[in-house]
A and B are shown apart, each in its own frame.
Chain A
Amino acid sequence: MIRAKMNKAFLKIFGKEEWYLVTIPVFLILLSFIVAAIIIIFLGKNPFLAFYNLLQGSGLAPKPAYGGHKSMLTDFLSLLNYMTPMIFASLSVAIALKGGLFNIGVSGQMLFGGFFATILVGYSGLDWAIAKPLVLIVGIIGGAIIGGLIGLLKHKFNINEVVSSIMFNYIIQYVFSFFIHGYYIDPVSRQSKYISDASRLTLVNVQMFNLKMDLSIGFIIAIILAIAVKVFLDKSRLGFEIKAVGANHKGANYAGINVGRTRVLTMLISGAFAGLAGVTYYLGYFASIQPRVLPSMGFDAIAVALLGNLHSYGIIAASFIISIIDKGSTYMSSKAGVRQEIASVITALILLFSACSVYVQHKIQSKKDNLEYKARKEIK
C-alpha cells in the first residue's frame, strides 16, 4: 500500500507526459546538486553557502562588496560572455548528432577558425565595421572547412568521423602552436599577441551607469542562431534530410536521399558552428590564443548538448547552468574555501545524472503501466 502511494507520488513529480522533456532534466539536476552537497558536507563546508557563492560569482546574487566600476550586472554580463562560445559549440555537437555523426573535433575546429580570424583580421588594423563581420565570416569558413573535410573523408573513404576528428584535433593543436610560437607570440604572457579591440567580438570596458561592462555581441548572435537552428531542423527540407539520415541512414538511402552528400553538409554546418564558437572564444571572451592547448569547451559541449536534449532551447538552458558553475567556481573557492575542482565535480555529476534520463523515463513508463494494469484488474 505504501509502495503504491510512493509510486503515485513519484509519478506526480514529473507531471504530464508533454512536460517530461523539462521535468526529467530538472529532477536530475536537483539530484546531482544533492549529491554534490553531500560531498561538500564531507569536506566540512556548508553546501548552501558554496552554492550561493556560485550564484554570486556568476552575477545572479549580490556579493557583499564590489571593486570599482563593478556590480552584479557586470558579473552577469561576463557570464553571458563566457556562455556564448558554449552555446555555439553545443549547437555544433547537436547538429552533427542529429545527423547521426559524432563531432568530437569541435575543439580543433574552434582553434582553426579562431587562429585564422586572429591572424587575418585580429592583427590587420581594419576598421571595426569591417573587422567584426569579417571575424565571424572567417570563423564560419574555417570551422566549415575542417568539418566538411571530416564529412568528406567519411563519405569518400568511409573513415570514421570520430577517428578523423581526433586526428585533426592533434594536427591543428600542434601545427598552430608552432606558428604561434614562431610568429605571433607575446613574450610576456607566453600567449599569442592581443588582437585589436576593433576586431574583438566583445565590447570591453564599456562605460555605462558608472560601470565598466563587457558586452558580448556574440551572445545575441548565438541566441538568434539557436532559434534559427531549431527552425532549420524542424521545418527545412535539408533539416528533414539530416534528421532522416541520422535516424536511419538505410531508410534515408532507400527513400532516395543522397546519404553521403547529406553527411558532408551536416559536418559542414556543424563545423561552421564550431568555428563561431572559436571566434567568440578566442576573439571574444579572450583576445589571444594559448598555444599547445585545445579549449576543453569543445568536449564539455558534447555533454551540454546531451543535457539540453539536442534541442536549441534546452542547449541555451544547459549552457547557462554549466556556465554558472564554471564561472562562479573562482569566487566559491575564495569565499567558501571549497576548492575550484569541486565545481568540476558538480558539472560532472550533472552530466552523469543527465545520462540517466532515458532510464528515468523508462522507469516512469513502467510504473505507469503497472498502475494502469492494476487499476484494470481491480475493475474486473
Chain B
Amino acid sequence: MSEYIVEMKNITKRFPGVVANDDITIQIKKGEIYSILGENGAGKSTLMSMLFGMYEPDQGEIWIRGEKVNIKSPNQATKLNIGMVHQHFKLVRNYTVTENIILGIEPIKRYGGLFPYVNLNQAAKDIAKLSKRYGLEVDPNKKIEDINVSLQQRVEIIKMLYREAEILIFDEPTAVLTPQEVEFLLKIIEELRNGGKTIILITHKLEEVKKVADRCAILNKGRLVSVLDVKDTSTKTMANLMVGREVSFEVAKKPSTFGEVVLKVENLWIRNQDNFDIVKGVSFNIRKGEIFAIAGVSGNGQIEIADAIAGLRKISQGNIYLNGKNIKDLTIRDRIEMGISYIPEDRQDVGLILDFSLAENLSLKDYYKKPFNENGFLNRKVINDYGAQLIEKYDIRSGQGIKTQVRSMSGGNQQKAIIGREIELESSLMIFVQPTRGLDIGAIENIQKMILEERDKGKAILLISLELDEIMSISDTIGVIYNGEILKIQATQSLSINEVGEFMMGVKYDD
C-alpha cells in the first residue's frame, strides 16, 4: 500500500488551441488538506475534473490507493469514493434536500416485499445523522429553491458524504459566500479532515490556503510550479509563485471629491418572472466622482437593480433620475445616449456577441451613428480604424487584432474590450457588475485601476460585486443589500469588512 491515496502522474490535457495541463504530477496523502492554487485559467479545475472522471487525460496515469485506475465517468469516480462539490451546484431546484441527496442511489424498500418504493424516511434519518456528525445542519424537507447558497453548498457536501466519499474535491467553494460563511465552511473542512477524509481544495484565495491547507500545489498556465508545505511559506511567496511575478495587494486610491448627484434612484420595486418582488423599495444617490458599491450575497436583487437602471428590466414602481431627468420609460438605446455605460455581469452572453469580430464588438453601441453608418450602410473602414484605436488604447490582446473572433479571446481581454467600449461612450454614469469575476490578478489590478481613473475623471460609478475585498478597497460608499432591501448606506472608511458581512446576512442594528 502506497502512502499516497491519490497520485496523478505526468498528466497532460489539451483543448483546441491550449494545453490546459502540461505534464503535471501530484501526490496526495490520506487525511490531508491539499490545496490546488492558481489563477483563473491555470488548469486547476481541469486537473480535478479528470480525477472526477469528467474528462480523460490525453497522457498520464491516475493512481488511487496504490492502484492504477481509468476513471471514465463521475459514476466511476463515486465508486472509488471520490466526491466533488462544483463551483456551480448541481442540484434540482424544486426537489427537497433529501431528494437531491439520494438522487441516483435511492434506498429502495418494497411494500409487502413486492412493490418497490423510495424509502424517504430512512433516507431522511441517515441524512440527519450525517449532518449532525459534521455540524452540517440543514432541514431535509426544505426545497432547494427555498434555501440560501451556503445551505445549498452544505447539501452538496452531504451528498458526497452520503455516497461515502473519502476524497472530497471542493472547486472554489468560497466564491459565493460571505466572510462569516467562509469561516464556517473552513471549519467544516477541517472537521472533515479530522474525521479521516482527504480534502482537495481548489482555490485562488491565498488566505484560505494559509488557514486550513497542509500542503499546496501551485499551478501557472497549465504547469506545476511548486508543491509547498503551507506552514513554512508566506502568503506573499505563494502569490508570487501563482502569478509568476511580484504582486502588490494595495490599490492606489486618491481621496474622493464628490460633485452633484448624477443618478437618483427612488423607491425602486422590481418583480421577477414568478411575480415575486425581488427588489423592494430601494433608494440611493450617486454623485459625480463617487464609487457607490452595492454589497450583498448573490441573488439578493443587486443585478436586477443594475438591469433596471440600464433599461434591460422593467420596474414595477419607483423612479430613476439621470442628471435630473426621469428615465424610467426610456428605451435602452435612449438611456445609452443619455449617458449610461453598462458593464454587465455576464460578459459572454450579454456584453459581447462572441461570433462577431473584435472591431464589430467595439463599435456595438456606435455602429448606427455617423460616420460608422452612412445611409443605412456600415463603413467598415471607420469601424476597423476605431477598433484598432481602442485595441491600442486599452491594450486588448488577441490573436488577429480587429478581425479576431471575440469567442477566441481570453476572459480578461474580453472584459477589457467591454470596458474600453463603455468608457469611450463618455457617459456620466458607469455601471460595473462583477467587473473582475473570473479574471487573473494582473487583469484585476488593471481593471480596478481603470475604474478608479474614471472616478477621478468625475464620473458617477455604480459597482456591484460579490468580492467584498474589491468593494472595500475601491468604493467610496457602500450600500448593503439583503433580500431586496438596502439595509445600510455608509461611507466605506467607516465600515469594517465584518460589519458589512453581518449586514449581508440580514443583521439589522438599531442605531
Contact = CB atoms under 8 A, between A and B. Distances in A.
A101 B93 CA distance: 30
B378 A248 contact: no
Nearest to B355: A247
B364 interface: yes
A235 B378 contact: yes
Contact of B331 (A247, A250, A258): A258
Contact of A254 (B14, B332, B373, B380): B332
Q: Which of A237, A252, A365 has the most CB of B within 10 A?
A: A237
B354 A247 contact: yes
A344 interface: no
Nearest to A244: B353
A124 interface: no
Contacts of B312: 253-254
Contacts of A369: 14, 16-17
Contacts of A255: 364-365
A257 to B, nearest CB: 8
Interface in B246-293: none
A64 interface: no
27 contacts: A236-B378, A237-B373, A237-B378, A247-B354, A247-B355, A248-B349, A248-B352, A248-B353, A248-B354, A248-B355, A250-B349, A252-B353, A253-B312, A253-B332, A254-B312, A254-B344, A254-B350, A254-B351, A257-B333, A258-B333, A365-B16, A366-B16, A369-B14, A369-B16, A369-B17, A373-B14, A373-B19
Given A236-B376, A247-B353, A251-B353, 11 more contacts: A235-B377, A235-B378, A237-B367, A237-B368, A237-B377, A243-B356, A248-B355, A251-B350, A251-B352, A256-B365, A365-B16
What size tier do the contact residues of chain B reach? 20 to 34
A128 interface: no
Nearest to B12: A373
A378 to B, nearest CB: 15
A247 B356 contact: yes
A346 B345 CA distance: 49
A247 B356 CA distance: 8
Nearest to A239: B378
A255 B331 CA distance: 11
A97 to B, nearest CB: 13
A7 B428 CA distance: 57
A238 B376 contact: yes
A365 B352 CA distance: 25
A373 B312 CA distance: 45
Nearest to B365: A255
A238 B378 CA distance: 9
A119 B351 CA distance: 50
Interface of B: 14, 16-17, 19, 310, 312, 331-333, 336, 342, 344, 346, 349-356, 360, 364-365, 367-368, 373, 376-378, 380
Interface string A229-250: 0000001111010011001101
Rank and list the top 3 A-B pairs by shortest CB-CB distance, nearest first. Answer: A256-B333, A247-B355, A255-B364
Contacts of B17: 369
Interface centre among A255, A256, A258 (most CB of B within 10 A): A255
A166 to B, nearest CB: 27
Interface string A338-380: 0000000000000000000000001001100110010000000
A237 B366 CA distance: 11
Interface of A: 235-238, 240, 243-244, 247-248, 250-258, 362, 365-366, 369-370, 373
Contacts of A237: 367-368, 373, 376-378
A240 B378 contact: yes
Nearest to A250: B350
A250 B364 CA distance: 13
Contact of B332 (A244, A247, A256, A373): A256
A295 B186 CA distance: 67
Centre residue among A237, A253, A256 by max chain B CB count within 10 A: A256
B14 A236 contact: no
B114 to A, nearest CB: 44
Contacts of B365: 255-256
Nearest to A370: B14
Contacts of B353: 244, 247-248, 251-252
Contacts of B344: 254
B57 to A, nearest CB: 14
Among B312, B336, B368, the one with the most A-chain Cβ atoms within 10 Å of its Cβ is B368
A253 B367 CA distance: 14
Nearest to B344: A254
A253 B353 CA distance: 11
Nearest to A238: B376
Contact of A256 (B14, B19, B336): B336
Given A235-B378, A253-B332, A244 B356 contact: yes
Contacts of A258: 331, 333
A367 to B, nearest CB: 11
B21 to A, nearest CB: 13
A264 to B, nearest CB: 16
A256 B332 CA distance: 5
Contacts of A247: 353-356
Contact of B349 (A238, A251, A365, A373): A251
A247 B352 CA distance: 10
A295 B249 CA distance: 69
Contacts of B355: 247-248
Contacts of B351: 251, 254
A200 B86 CA distance: 66
Contacts of A257: 333
Given A235-B377, A237-B378, A247-B356, A254 B367 contact: no
A20 to B, nearest CB: 14
B351 to A, nearest CB: 7
Contacts of B378: 235-237, 240
A238 B356 CA distance: 15
Contact of A235 (B349, B350, B356, B380): B380
A244 B357 CA distance: 11
Contacts of B364: 244, 251, 255
B345 to A, nearest CB: 11
Nearest to A255: B364
Contacts of B19: 373
A114 to B, nearest CB: 31
A235 to B, nearest CB: 5
A377 B350 CA distance: 39
Nearest to B337: A256
A277 to B, nearest CB: 26
Q: Which of A258, A362, A369 has the most CB of B within 10 A?
A: A369
Nearest to A365: B16
A138 to B, nearest CB: 26
A252 B346 CA distance: 13
Nearest to A368: B16
